[in-house]
A and B are shown apart, each in its own frame.
Chain A
Amino acid sequence: GQNIDQPTEMTATEGAIVQINCTYQTSGFNGLFWYQQHAGEAPTFLSYNVLDGLEEKGRFSSFLSRSKGYSYLLLKELQMKDSASYLCAVRDQGNQGGKLIFGQGTELSVKP
Chain B
Amino acid sequence: DTAVSQTPKYLVTQMGNDKSIKCEQNLGHDTMYWYKQDSKKFLKIMFSYNNKELIINETVPNRFSPKSPDKAHLNLHINSLELGDSAVYFCASSQDFGTDPLPQHFGDGTRLSIL
Is A76's beta carbon under 8 Å from chain B?
no
Interface size on A, residues (CB 8 A): 26
Contact of B101 among A31, A37, A43, A102 (CB under 8 A): A31
Interface of B with A (CB < 8 Å)?
4, 31, 33, 40-45, 48, 50, 55-56, 58, 90, 96, 98-99, 101, 103-109
**In the complex, which residues of chain A have a beta carbon less than 8 angstroms from the beta carbon of B50?**
96
A43 adjacent to B56 (CB under 8 Å) = no
**In the complex, which residues of chain A have a beta carbon less than 8 angstroms from the beta carbon of B41?**
37, 85, 104-105
How long is the Cα–Cα vector from A45 to B4 in the complex, in angstroms? 13
How far, in Å, is B65 (CB) from chain A's closest CB? Answer: 19
Report A4-56 residues with CB < 8 Å from chain B CB: 30-31, 33, 37, 41-45, 48, 50
Is A97's beta carbon under 8 Å from chain B?
yes
B48 adjacent to A42 (CB under 8 Å) = no
Is A80's beta carbon under 8 Å from chain B?
no
The 4 closest A-B pairs by CB, nearest first: A31-B101, A94-B99, A45-B103, A42-B106
A43 adjacent to B106 (CB under 8 Å) = yes
How long is the Cα–Cα vector from A102 to B101 in the complex, in angstroms? 15
B107 adjacent to A96 (CB under 8 Å) = no
Contact of A97 among B33, B55, B103 (CB under 8 A): B55
Contact of A95 among B4, B44, B99, B105 (CB under 8 A): B99
25 contacts between A and B (CB under 8 A): A33-B101, A33-B103, A41-B108, A42-B4, A42-B107, A43-B43, A43-B106, A48-B103, A85-B41, A91-B101, A94-B101, A95-B98, A96-B31, A96-B50, A96-B55, A96-B96, A97-B55, A97-B56, A98-B101, A100-B43, A100-B104, A101-B45, A102-B44, A104-B40, A104-B41
How long is the Cα–Cα vector from A96 to B48 in the complex, in angstroms? 9
How long is the Cα–Cα vector from A97 to B56 in the complex, in angstroms? 6
A43 adjacent to B90 (CB under 8 Å) = yes
B56 adjacent to A94 (CB under 8 Å) = no
Interface string of A43-83 (1 = CB under 8 A from B): 11100101000000000000000000000000000000000
How long is the Cα–Cα vector from A64 to B44 in the complex, in angstroms? 23
